[in-house]
């Protein structure tokens, strides 16, 4: 019955457009198209006037041969990502997950809520809190402790140890995501394994070493890639707390691209710089995608009546 | 020889002192737990203290100075109380006794705080709520820059941005989530994989091209532009969250709705959607908080001060008066953070139900 078949096909298309159309449209216009635009922009000479004069390789030539600040920015990025990730976003997140699951459940939930507080507060507020903590005069929270408790002279983290400051500020926020993921992974370990280990005489450390950690292998590798990617591209707190300064001391690569575009108006050069991040982003996204549970995600849908 | 004797290495049976063993194990457990708790308290203090400091500044600071003694007095009252309560909590098992001890401590702490710092509290710093010209008043008129808009202007801009973005996300992600959960279509797995890649892809790197695009289509410096961008870049995440919730609805109820004569769309709208209302609430709360706190994108895409949202308002207030008056800045921050915190506290049970994809394990 061709008529029936045609009506069926029409209904299928109508459903497709109705249910998936809005999402496809939004994603295409504001997500996929910008990737293409970035690719094109990187090869232009767009400046303050926002007009394209000519197509050129100049941006990449500048990036690889002339830009002396770029090397510094890469160094800062490397130190920042490595230390924040190594100290806070994975290691400390793991410690928090282990400890909050070892204390009574209510208390554990309380401490997890405390660590989620920075993530739930607006970034401007969180940055302000840090500015009040490291205020260089004697009113800064840190200096109140340093002066009155340790009897040392006031310290100025923001100007003298800016890199340490942005690592701490990002770390205290970054640890919470890993903490949540690891906590739910620990919870999903069958209880009887712990009992069996105890009966066999395992102590707390042996249990962590031989039961908990092996179960966390996938979540840990997932979080490591996910967090290094997000640390690599996000500069929100750095911009708010140090502004990338003093001078360029805390300007990580992504902030460098942002500052080139929106501070000095070199939009094309900024686009060329972010193109590198886009490429890294795609590669890391593909790597993450391997770690997701694809079978569960791609299992066939259950009803196919239109 | 009783069954309770221990036999060590096949040697002579040793009479075990069960009471001593139990005591030792109890001591060990309490000791270990207290050490863990002490560590957790020490590492969590740097988070709680700054928030507390912000509250203290907001409610006690006056132009030109902050009394840090208020902070430490309050800490000296509250910290021992928390310590005493945790000791009580660990040694007393009866919930009623715990409750009574907690109530007594609460009364004592409240009384002490009222007596020691009650006189220092005031609401002057919140005058920005009804006076738009507070910046000129704090700084002398000659030095102040552009006129600040009223805080309510920024507040309603933020509200408009957050609510509209949430509505877009709710509609689009529930439609798309339902479709990929229930329908087979050509390219379904390719579509899902593409969404996953987009979900992991950092949208922050696209800020320059998105800026250009908004400029070209004339949505730069409009709330509508920011709203669409924020909705789009967060969409893959919410689509997967909604797909997870739809996957959890048994398909029999749809089937029975359709047997009763409902069309597929009616079944979705009238039968399935009510089943995932907790998912809808979770997505709504999460999307609202995210849009409410957004800074980088609004900072880049919104320029004129009539378009300021709360984050920009707070940023410029702190930029302008921070050196002179901490109090007002802290008060604005408290006002700004309140909706996020209230939503977070009251909707936590919905938020914890969100899962995505599931990590291979």
Give A102's contacts in chain B (Cβ within 8 Å).
33, 36
Compute the average pLDDT of residues B84-107. Answer: 84
| pLDDT number for residue A215 | 84
Question: The tokens of B182 are what?
Answer: 């229930």
Chain B, window 313-332: residues with a beta carbon less than 8 angstroms from a chain A beta carbon:
314-315, 318, 322, 326, 329-330
Compute the average pLDDT of residues A96-125. Answer: 88
Between the ranges A180-194, A270-284, B158-172, B268-282, where is the mean pLDDT highest? B158-172
Give A244's contacts in chain B (Cβ within 8 Å).
none
Across A94-98, A230-234, A281-285, least confident range: A281-285
For residue B186, what pLDDT band results from cuts at 50, 70 and 90? Answer: confident
Closest in B47, B49, B168 to A118, CB measured:
B47
For residue B140, what pLDDT band results from cuts at 50, 70 and 90? Answer: low
Compute the average pLDDT of residues A124-147. Answer: 86
Q: How far is CA B262 from CA B182, B265, B268, in A?
A: 16, 8, 9
Across A26-40, A50-64, B237-251, least confident range: A50-64
| pLDDT number for residue A292 | 65
Per-residue pLDDT at B172 exceeds 90 = yes
Higher pLDDT, B210 or B147: B210
Compute the average pLDDT of residues B230-237. Answer: 90
pTM confidence score: 0.85
Contact (CB, 8 A) for B289 and B343: yes
* C-alpha torsion sign, points B198, B204, B210, B214: positive
Residue B139 Ramachandran class (φ > 0 left, ψ -120 to 50 alpha, else beta): beta
Nearest CA distance, A220 vs chain B (angstrom)? 10
Please, is B139 exposed, middle or buried when counting C-beta atoms within 10 Å of its C-beta (0-12, 13-18, 19+)? middle
Give the residue among A193, A11, A123, A182 at the shortest CA–CA distance from B336.
Answer: A123
Compute the average pLDDT of residues A226-252. Answer: 87
Give A185's contacts in chain B (Cβ within 8 Å).
359, 361
| pLDDT number for residue B199 | 81
CB contact under 8 Å between B314 and A124, yes or no, is: yes
| pLDDT number for residue B1 | 44
For residue B263, what pLDDT band results from cuts at 50, 70 and 90? Answer: confident
| pLDDT number for residue B142 | 47
Residues 6+ away with beta carbon under 8 Å from B180: A20, A301, B188, B191, B192, B239, B243
Across A4-13, B159-168, B309-318, least confident range: A4-13
Q: How far apart are the first and last CA of chain A?
A: 17
Give B341's contacts in chain A (Cβ within 8 Å).
120-121
| pLDDT number for residue B2 | 47
Query: Could you tell me what percent of chain B has a pLDDT over 70?
Result: 89
Does B226 touch chain A if contact means CB atoms closer than 8 Å? no
| CA-based radius of gyration for chain A | 25
Mean pLDDT of chain A: 85
Higher pLDDT, B152 or B119: B152
Contact (CB, 8 A) for A130 and A167: no
| pLDDT number for residue B359 | 39
Distance between CA atoms of residues B254 and B262, nearest Å: 9
Contact (CB, 8 A) for B193 and A289: yes
For residue A141, what pLDDT band results from cuts at 50, 70 and 90? Answer: confident
Mean pLDDT of chain B: 83
Compute the average pLDDT of residues B50-69. Answer: 82
Which residue stretches of chain A are H helix? 2-15, 21-27, 33-41, 58-61, 68-83, 93-102, 105-120, 123-133, 141-148, 157-160, 162-187, 191-199, 204-207, 213-215, 217-233, 236-241, 253-262, 267-291, 294-297
Output the CA angle B147-B151-B155, nearest 5 degrees.
Answer: 135
Contact (CB, 8 A) for B203 and B140: no
Q: How far is CA A53 from CA A45, A48, A50, A56, A147, in A?
A: 6, 12, 9, 9, 58
Distance between CA atoms of residues A36 and A50, nearest Å: 17
Q: Which residues of A30-62 are buried (b: 16+ CB within 10 A; e: fewer)?
A: bbebbbebbeebbbbbbeeeeebeeeeebbbee
Does A65 touch chain B if contact means CB atoms closer than 8 Å? no
| pLDDT number for residue B191 | 84
Compute the average pLDDT of residues B300-304. Answer: 87
Compute the average pLDDT of residues A59-70. Answer: 84
Contact (CB, 8 A) for A16 and B182: no
Residue B358 Ramachandran class (φ > 0 left, ψ -120 to 50 alpha, else beta): left
Per-residue pLDDT at A293 exceeds 80 = no
């Amino acid at each position: 019955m061709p008529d029936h078949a045609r009506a069926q096909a029409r209904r299928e298309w109508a459903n497709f457009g109705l249910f998936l159309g809005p999402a496809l449209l939004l994603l295409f216009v504001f997500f996929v198209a910008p990737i293409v635009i970035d690719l094109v922009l990187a090869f232009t000479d767009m400046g303050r006037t926002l007009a394209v004069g000519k197509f050129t390789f100049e941006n990449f030539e500048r990036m690889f041969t002339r830009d002396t600040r770029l090397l510094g920015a890469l160094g800062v990025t490397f130190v920042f990502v490595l230390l924040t990730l190594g100290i806070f976003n994975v290691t400390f997140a793991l410690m928090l997950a282990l400890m909050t699951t070892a204390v009574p459940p209510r208390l554990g939930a309380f401490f997890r809520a405390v660590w989620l507080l920075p993530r739930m507060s607006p970034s401007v507020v969180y940055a302000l809190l840090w500015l009040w903590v490291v205020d260089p005069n004697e009113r800064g929270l840190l200096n109140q402790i340093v002066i009155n408790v340790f009897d040392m002279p006031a310290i100025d983290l923001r100007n003298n140890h800016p890199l340490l400051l942005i690592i701490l500020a990002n770390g205290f926020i970054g640890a919470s995501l890993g903490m949540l993921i690891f906590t739910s992974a620990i919870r999903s370990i069958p209880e009887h394994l712990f009992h069996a280990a105890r009966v066999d005489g395992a102590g707390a450390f042996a249990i962590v070493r031989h039961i908990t950690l092996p179960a966390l292998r996938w979540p840990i590798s997932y979080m490591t890639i996910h967090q290094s990617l997000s640390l690599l591209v996000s500069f929100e707190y750095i911009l708010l707390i140090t502004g990338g300064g003093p001078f360029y001391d805390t300007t990580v690569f992504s902030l460098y691209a942002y500052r080139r575009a929106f501070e000095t108006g070199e939009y094309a050069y900024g686009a060329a710089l972010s193109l590198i991040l886009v490429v890294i982003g795609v590669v890391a996204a593909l790597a993450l995608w391997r770690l997701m549970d694809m079978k569960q995600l791609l299992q066939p849908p259950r009803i196919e009546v239109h | 020889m009783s069954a309770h004797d221990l036999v060590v290495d096949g040697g002579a049976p040793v009479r075990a002192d069960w009471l001593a063993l139990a005591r030792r194990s109890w001591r060990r457990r309490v000791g270990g737990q207290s050490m863990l708790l002490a560590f957790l308290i020490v590492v969590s203090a740097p988070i709680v203290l700054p928030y507390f400091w912000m509250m203290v500044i907001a409610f006690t600071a006056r132009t030109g100075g902050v009394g840090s003694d208020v902070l430490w007095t309050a800490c000296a009252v509250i910290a021992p109380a928390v310590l005493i309560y945790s000791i009580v909590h660990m040694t007393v098992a009866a919930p009623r006794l715990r409750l009574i001890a907690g109530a007594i401590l609460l009364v004592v702490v409240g009384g002490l705080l009222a007596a020691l710092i009650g006189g220092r509290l005031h609401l002057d710093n919140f005058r920005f709520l009804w006076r738009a010209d507070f910046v000129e008043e704090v700084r002398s008129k000659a030095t102040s820059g552009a006129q600040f808009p009223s805080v309510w202007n920024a507040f309603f801009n933020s509200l408009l941005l957050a609510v509209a973005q949430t509505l877009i996300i709710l509609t689009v992600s529930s439609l798309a989530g339902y479709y990929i959960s229930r329908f087979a279509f050509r390219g379904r797995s390719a579509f899902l994989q593409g969404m996953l890649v987009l979900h992991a892809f950092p949208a922050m790197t696209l800020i320059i091209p998105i800026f250009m695009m908004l400029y070209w289509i004339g949505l730069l410096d409009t709330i509508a532009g920011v709203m669409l961008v924020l909705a789009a870049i967060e969409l893959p995440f919410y689509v997967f969250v909604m797909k997870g919730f739809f996957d959890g609805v048994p398909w029999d109820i749809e089937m029975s709705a359709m047997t009763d004569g409902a069309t597929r769309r009616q079944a979705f709208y009238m039968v399935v959607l009510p089943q995932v209302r907790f998912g809808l609430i979770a997505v709504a709360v999460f999307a609202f908080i995210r849009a409410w706190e957004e800074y980088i994108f609004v900072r880049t895409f919104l320029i004129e001060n009539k378009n300021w949202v709360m984050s920009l308002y707070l940023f410029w207030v702190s930029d302008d008066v921070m050196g002179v008056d901490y109090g007002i800045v802290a008060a604005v921050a408290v006002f700004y953070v309140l909706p996020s915190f209230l939503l977070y506290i009251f909707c936590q049970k919905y938020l914890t139900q969100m899962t995505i994809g599931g990590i291979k394990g």
